[in-house]
Amino acid sequence: MNKQFERNLKIKRARRYRIVFFLLFFLIISMVLFLLAYFLIPAKDITNLGDNIGATAPSQENSVNDGKSEPSSTQTVQSEAPVDKYDEYSYTFSADLSSYEQYMNPHNDDYLFLVNVDNKLQENYIPDDLTDVIYTRDDGRNTQQMRLYAEKALEALFIEAQAQGMTYVNPKSGYGLSVMSAYRSYAYQKQLFDQRVASTGSEEAASKIVQYPGASEHQSGLCCDMHNLSSADESYESDASAKWLAENSYKFGFILRYPKDKTEITGISFEPWHFRFVGRYHASKMYELGMCLEEYMEYIKK
């Protein structure tokens, strides 16, 4: 009895070992197949993805920004071609802004960088593509300037704002939403700062009102102050155009740079009139995540 029991036990064990052996065998075979597939088949797809991020960006811009084909481009995303992250957000507008698409939605990260006290611009930094801002307030001030993409995207914003009935009113017949200040040179910022130092008595007190030279985003040529008051005031927040800007500017590639609930992080008091161009993709992401630029730059590092 005992012997037979032992024999049965041995047979059972042997069977068990065989099963384990075959399982291991199949596991190893499938791992080898998987590794082969991983290294051989997707090699092409991976290089394609790399191209999207890098050098071929400008040519993609052209192909996307024939513009009129925009609605159908959302459908072609479903094809097998790798999805371009810059196509993640597309919006419908009341006005025909197809010719502005390429500016509102640059397919690169060129406009995404921080300018603040910890990230100052060089004294000799002058953008080489400054363009006249056509919506500068017509009250005798110098025509303001911004970098080409930011200015064109801002034009689109104003066109849409007008199409929605918001808008740029001829400032000669009263104040309309218009650009008060955009690009400022290092020298001009220094002049503004020095004036504040003189009136407040210290650099520290001045820096709470005016940015240190080099620390002002205005030197980047990517931002502007716009409102419909005689001079900037926090009360602008409750104006219909301010609300519209806060809720819509990201579609055109702009962010409300110094939000009310982020003053601790930005170090700048709430400025409902100051908008910064970063491009639609990043502006939309920031809007969605509820982050200011400082937070977002940390967030994308991870």
Looking at 271, 294, 295, 298, which residue is catalytic?
271
Give min distance, CB of 271 to Zn ion, in A. Answer: 6
Contact 252, 275 (CB under 8 A): no
Q: Which is nearer to Zn ion, 192 or 286 (CB)?
A: 192
Give min distance, CB of 268 to Zn ion, in A. Answer: 9
Q: Which is nearer to Zn ion, 86 or 275 (CB)?
A: 275
x/- mask, Zn ion, residues 76-105, rule CB under 5 A, reads ------------------------------
Q: Which is nearer to Zn ion, 137 or 274 (CB)?
A: 274
Neighbours of 218 (CB within 10 A): 24
- Amino acid at site 32: V
Give the H/E segment covering residue 180: strand 178-181
Give min distance, CB of 223 to Zn ion, in A. Answer: 6
Is 13 strand, coil or helix?
A: helix
Measured in residues, the chain has a length of 302
The pair of structure tokens assigned to 110 is 């060129």
Neighbours of 243 (CB within 10 A): 14
Count of chain residues binding Zn ion (CB under 5 A): 2
Between strands 178-181 and 130-132, the pairing is: unpaired
Q: Is 247 a catalytic residue?
A: no
CB-based contacts of 285, cutoff 8 Å, min separation 6: 296
Q: Closest CB to Zn ion belongs to which residue?
A: 274
x/- mask, Zn ion, residues 260-279, rule CB under 5 A, reads --------------x-----
Q: Write the burial class of residue 12 (CB in 10 Å: 0-12 exposed, 13-18 middle, 19+ buried).
A: exposed
Contacts (CB under 5 A) with Zn ion, residues 220-239: 225
Contact 163, 93 (CB under 8 A): yes
Q: Which is nearer to Zn ion, 64 or 179 (CB)?
A: 179
Give min distance, CB of 170 to Zn ion, in A. Answer: 24
Give min distance, CB of 36 to Zn ion, in A. Answer: 57
Question: Is residue 194 within the footprint of Zn ion (CB under 5 A)?
Answer: no
Catalytic residue ranges: 271
Q: In the complex, which residues of this chain contact Zn ion (CB under 5 A)?
A: 225, 274
